[in-house]
Structures are given as C-alpha cells and as structure tokens.
Amino acid sequence: MLTARPAAVLFDMDGLLLDTERLIRDAMVAVMADLGFAMSGDDYAELIGRPEPASRALMQARFGAGLDYDVMRSEVRQRIRGEWGPVRPLKPGAATLLAQLNAAGIPCAVATSSENALARAHLGHAGLLDGFAAIVGCDDVSRGKPHPEPYLAAAARLGVAPATALALEDSHNGVISAADAGCQVVMVPDLLPATPAIRARLLAVAPDLDTVANWLAALA
C-alpha cells in the first residue's frame, strides 16, 4: 500500500510494462536447444533484469566458449520477430496506469536493461512512448542493473530526488537497483517471486498494475 503521492514514477519495461520475459525465455531455451545446449528456466532467471553485457558474461560462463552468443541472440530475435513482428504484448493495466499518471500530472520515466532505441521502438508500437518524459536504456549508463545508476539517471532526467520517486519493478535485479538508488519500490512479480530478501527492500508487493493504479487513485 502507498502512503504518499510520489513526485514521479519510474518504470521497468520488460516483464513490467511489456509481457516479454516469457517470450524471450521460451525463444532462448528453444534456440539454445537447436544449438546443442540444454538451457533451463533457472538459467534464464539469472539473466532477468540484467543488461546485455552482463547477460553475455553469465551465458559464456555457464555454457563455455562453444556458445556463439551473438549467433544465439540473433536467432532469438529472429524467432520472436517471426512470431510477434514489431509489437510486444502489454501487461494488464499498463496503459491504464500510465494514462492515470499522465492525467494526474505525475511525470514518468522508464529505466530498462534494454537498449534505448529498442525500448523506444517497443513502447512506440505499444502506444506508450508518448506517456514518458524520459527513457533510460542500458546504453545510457555505464553500469546497468542491479547497480543503482539506471534509476539515479531516470530520477535526474525528471528533476526529482530518488527518495520522492516510486519505482515499479518485476525483477530482483531491478528491485536492488531501484532500492539502492533510494527510491520507494513496489514489486509486481512476473517470472520471479518476491523472496524474503527482496521483500525487505520493498514498500509493497502488488499482484498487478491495476492494483498499483488503485493505490495511487486512493491518494488523490
């Protein structure tokens, strides 16, 4: 439950606004199998919320030099494009919550582990891009999640102190990033549950974005 109106709301993207984590996981596991590697859902869980360089390092450490990471990522992207084209499915309540915040005059930004251009393309196709005053991608910072820099940068671009901002996250790495930046954090779990260690960093856990919208409406 929220107790005060935030000065700004900072959103993660994949798994929070866009229902993409399952698409990426399933495509990656399938492509890895085609390449002769047995990748599990637990292997993918280690990547959630991390920027591309960190994911590359983890995958190379897990599967060794025999994995051509660039080939794998290219085939994953091709597989997803073949199934979904440029559009990515929205998480329930995403558009409604963003519209509510825009109407209330609460500035919004995205802090994502995806590249800035890719984030803008996906948010644009989903009809959400114009609702954000700033987009911070992994290529806009020197250190990605779980480092706090993405959320510090997002708050700075909106001109608000991190402690006055509400961050919405679905991943453990994202929660750590936002909490260490000093934000108030609500987790809306997707593929990963809110563990006791993660709950200790949270203001609250919400089952979905509609619940967050209701909490914010109650503060108006």
31 falls within a domain: yes
Amino acid 173: pLDDT = 97
Listed in sequence order, the residues at least 6 apart from 142 whose beta carbon sits closer than 8 Å to its beta carbon are 149
Amino acid 3: pLDDT = 87
Amino acid 64: pLDDT = 97
Amino acid 86: pLDDT = 86
Amino acid 2: pLDDT = 86
44 falls within a domain: yes
How many Å apart are CA 220 and CA 176, to the nearest integer?
Answer: 28
Count the residues in the chain. Answer: 220
The tally of domains found in the chain comes to 2
First CA to last CA distance, the chain? 14
Query: Is pTM, for the whole model, over 0.75?
Result: yes
Residues 162 and 128 in one domain: yes
pLDDT tens, per residue, the chain with 220 residues: 788 999 999 999 999 999 999 999 999 999 999 999 999 999 999 999 999 999 999 999 999 999 999 999 999 999 999 988 888 999 999 999 999 999 999 999 999 999 999 999 999 999 999 999 999 999 999 999 999 999 999 999 999 999 999 999 999 999 999 999 999 999 999 999 999 999 999 999 999 999 999 999 999 7
What residue numbers bound the domain in which 149 lies?
Answer: 8-19+89-217
Catalytic positions: 12, 14
Residues 172 and 209 in one domain: yes
2 falls within a domain: no
Residues 15 and 32 in one domain: no
1 falls within a domain: no
Residues 94 and 153 in one domain: yes
